[in-house]
Structure 1
Amino acid sequence: MRSYRLKSLLLAVATAGAMASGLASANDKPIKLGGLYILSGSAASYGEFASQGLQMAIDEINEQGGVLGRPLNLLMEDDQGRAATGIQAARKLVYQDGVSALIGLDSSGVALGLVPVLPELETPLIITHAATPHATGKLCNEYSFRVSVNESQNMRAAAEIASKLDAKRWTTIGPDYAFGHESWEIFSENMKELAPDAEMMKETAFPRFGAEDFTPFINNIMEQKPDGILISVWGGDLVNFIRQAHNLNFFNQGYELMFTVGAATEALAALGDQMPEGVWLGTRYWYESHDSERNTKFVNDYRERYKTPPSYNAEGAYSAVYAVKAAIEKAGSAEPKDVAKALVGLTIDSPAASERTFRVGDNQALVGPTWGRAGPMSADGIRSLTEIHNFKGADITPPVEKTGCTL
């Protein structure tokens, strides 16, 4: 009998030990984050900067003990700027890799495809670049969040500047998909309110994304003799557009030019002094325009690590990781559903804003863009910004009832 009891006791101790060991192992298991960006093709530099921002944040957090005592682990996928590829990659990250959250998206087209699928995935997505307002508007759901500036915010800011300029006849050149068309539509709506006497021309140009020859589009716009032009081409398209525009004497016509994301350091670095001085450049974040300890440390650490100043995509990705960290700590759980619930209404301290809040009602961060004129070349080998306007998110974000979101 004593032998039986001893064996039972030893079995119980062994079982408890194994359970404790398994629990400790589970508690030490990395928390996986999935990154979805364009990592190939003409816009690959945007994905590269985002990857750097993600990894820097993860390394900082892991050096401080991780989240809930668990390290963060980054898994990256190339969505190639295609909705179908992005959806497939997101499913892999969720179902095969078991990520707690998704971070990413460069293309509004990918966002429009992936956001409606998120309820099926039951995993939060924090958008850091794609700017279509519909991702936190009419397509919104409990798993869709955005930490960066959207088109509604950026185009309101652009219109506030444009309405004070002498230009009265406005047209646009932008990519022939959601980002280009929505930028023009929202800019036009705001101009009608802020400058009722401005003419929003019907003659516009929408070359396909990835077009190699912008010459016919530039010539067509020049023939229409506008006063001001909103230009929303980006990435490698922006670089090609500016180089070809120089050859056509486009920048000597006296136009007021507003590049919606022209102050992306990825494009500025590629262009150098080919970016014309004096044009208006927009960006979701400008590394020199935020006077805070948080931003100073971020910029210095990024420069030291990557030998270049951070882009807005790097800052957005970096801030998204810290948002996930805060959400996991708030929830006390890394389960995707718990993380999604904890992100609602969450406020974080970030390089771009000391109080960056995911607004209750549409999960859009209240964060503002930066606009400025392209100035002299800086020590970083890119155009500096002058006449800088840092817009406050609360001032240029449409109210929830106007977004189409019905969370």
Structure 2
Amino acid sequence: MPAPFTFTRRALLAAATSLMVVAGLPARAEDPIKLGLVAALSGQSAKSGEAITRGITLAIDKINAEGGVLGRPLELVSRDDESNPGKGLIAARELVQREGVAALIGGLDTPVSMAIVPFANEAKVPFMGPWAAGTPITVNGAEENYVFRVSAVDEYVDEAITEYLVTKYGAKKPGMILINNPWGESNEKGLMKALEKRGMEHAGIEKFENNDVDVVPQLTRLKENGADSLFLVANVAPSAQVIKSLDKMGWDVPISSHWGPAGGRFTELAGKSGEKVHFIQTFLFSGEDHPLYVKLKEKFPEVTSLADVTPATGIGNAYDATLLLAAAIEKAGSTEGPAIRQAMYEIEGVEGVIKTYDKPFTPDNQDALGPEDYTFTQFVEGEIIPIAD
């Protein structure tokens, strides 16, 4: 005979909360406001996912210490998308429909973000990107666009890395070596636009896959076509394969890259030649006395040096993105998606670590950062440092 069921205080509270949700009753003041994170928390991009998580966590700690949002604490609920668009979409649906998050943060990879964008717009849930740079993520054609970003934007990056190759190396005929996915396609369009603007020709457009272990054939074609420099667009592991292939060929050529190599311990995979790759970032710690770095070390004891926080840009972007979301929820006076979206266009005076944001978003531009917020960097002994002028 089964034992009689005993109602515990926890069970009664859980039942009461469920009834409130079902009945559509307002949340209690002490109930947390949930933010949902969808990011690669495992696999080759796990370091980037870790950086984003840390940035959000530090921002939530700051906000909650100051009284929370609408008098309620913020809470982070995370899901691992494993850099898989299908898994990312499932995770986003679960966070919205089961967890009841007020907003989504994430999309480390452009293909994952692109899979989530239609759902976010349809569900009318704000989706904040702290990493993926594909231009169509925010420029997605939706009549009511719920997608915002505190990150780099491919079209701006492509202009910046083109100008960098031209001014620093005198490039006249660059070649493109691009990952074969929507991120690579987004950058191909941006790079072509930047070259056409200058009336420049290119030595060819070569594509490669994430799991390619040798890209010598593609690089050989670019070299034979007269490439005097290279544009590189790929994440950590595939970028490392490009560098290894260049070493195998003995071809020492200037490389201007998107920020893909920053997503992990690039030079451990690419070797010493990885330090020759110059790539953009939106945030770097200015030193070990940076206030956010001090907080980071206090929160995460495993951080013992600046080399342990690669990539800092993920921390900075996610930190500022969380502050902006919190400010919008507070201004909206609501956790309803449409109200938060409207408030995103009205927030001002938000002090982030990248800059102070005064009305960073408009219906015509839902990206908070622009080319003026980029800096060029390289790896030196495992640490990302700015390149001296």
Normalising by the smaller structure, the TM-score range is 0.7 to 0.9
Kindly state the Cα deviation for residue 172 of structure 1 after the two structures are TM-superposed: 0.9
Give the corresponding residue for 1:192.
Answer: 196
Checking the alignment, whether the CA contact within 8 Å between 2:241 and 2:270 is kept in structure 1 is no
CA distance in 1, matches of 2:90, 2:283: 30
CA distance in 2, matches of 1:261, 1:211: 19
Give the corresponding residue for 1:302.
Answer: 296
Kindly state the Cα deviation for residue 271 of structure 1 after the two structures are TM-superposed: 5.2
Give the corresponding residue for 1:148.
Answer: 151
Give the corresponding residue for 2:339.
Answer: 338
Structure number with greater Rg is 1
Partner residue of 1:354 out of 353, 356, 360:
356
Tell me which moved more, 316-325 or 24-33: 24-33
Tell me which moved more, 74-83 or 23-32: 23-32
Distance 1:210 1:323, change over 3 A: farther
2:105 alignment partner AA: I
CA distance in 2, matches of 1:199, 1:25: 59
In structure 1, the residue corresponding to 2:234 is in which secondary structure?
coil
- Count how many residue pairs are aligned between Structure 1 and Structure 2: 355
Q: Deviations over 1:302-359 (max 9, x none)?
A: 2444413352122111111111110111111222332222112434321112236123
CA distance in 2, matches of 1:171, 1:327: 43
Checking the alignment, whether the CA contact within 8 Å between 1:359 and 1:365 is kept in structure 2 is no
Kindly state the Cα deviation for residue 26 of structure 1 after the two structures are TM-superposed: 0.8
% identity of equivalent residues:
26
Give the corresponding residue for 1:175.
Answer: 179
Kindly state the Cα deviation for residue 244 of structure 1 after the two structures are TM-superposed: 4.2
Distance 1:331 1:279, change over 3 A: same
Q: Is 2:315 the partner of 1:314?
A: yes
CA distance in 1, matches of 2:297, 2:188: 35
CA distance in 1, matches of 2:216, 2:26: 63
In structure 2, the residue corresponding to 1:213 is in which secondary structure?
coil
1:315 alignment partner AA: G
Q: Deviations over 1:49-71 (max 9, x none)?
A: 11111112112222222212211
Checking the alignment, whether the CA contact within 8 Å between 2:107 and 2:131 is kept in structure 1 is yes
Kindly state the Cα deviation for residue 25 of structure 1 after the two structures are TM-superposed: 7.0
Distance 1:233 1:61, change over 3 A: same
CA distance in 2, matches of 1:156, 1:209: 24
Normalised to the residue count of structure 2, the TM-score between the two structures is: 0.82
Q: Matches of residues 4-403 of structure 1 in structure 2 within 5 Å?
A: 26-140=28-142, 141-164=144-167, 165-193=169-197, 195-196=198-199, 198-201=200-203, 203-250=204-251, 252=252, 255-261=253-259, 264=262, 266-268=264-266, 270=268, 274-288=272-286, 296-306=290-300, 307=303, 308-309=308-309, 311-347=312-348, 348-355=350-357, 357-368=360-371, 369-372=373-376, 374=378, 376-377=380-381, 381-387=382-388
Unaligned runs of 5+ in 1: 1-17, 290-294, 389-407
In structure 2, the residue corresponding to 1:205 is in which secondary structure?
strand
Tell me which moved more, 118-127 or 364-373: 364-373
Distance 1:344 1:153, change over 3 A: same
Root-mean-square deviation over aligned CA pairs: 2.8
Checking the alignment, whether the CA contact within 8 Å between 1:272 and 1:382 is kept in structure 2 is no
Distance 1:375 1:113, change over 3 A: closer
Unaligned runs of 5+ in 2: 1-15
CA distance in 1, matches of 2:254, 2:247: 15
Q: Deviations over 1:354-406 (max 9, x none)?
A: 236123423221433433353754xxx42532235xxxxxxxxxxxxxxxxxx
Tell me which moved more, 215-224 or 57-66: 215-224
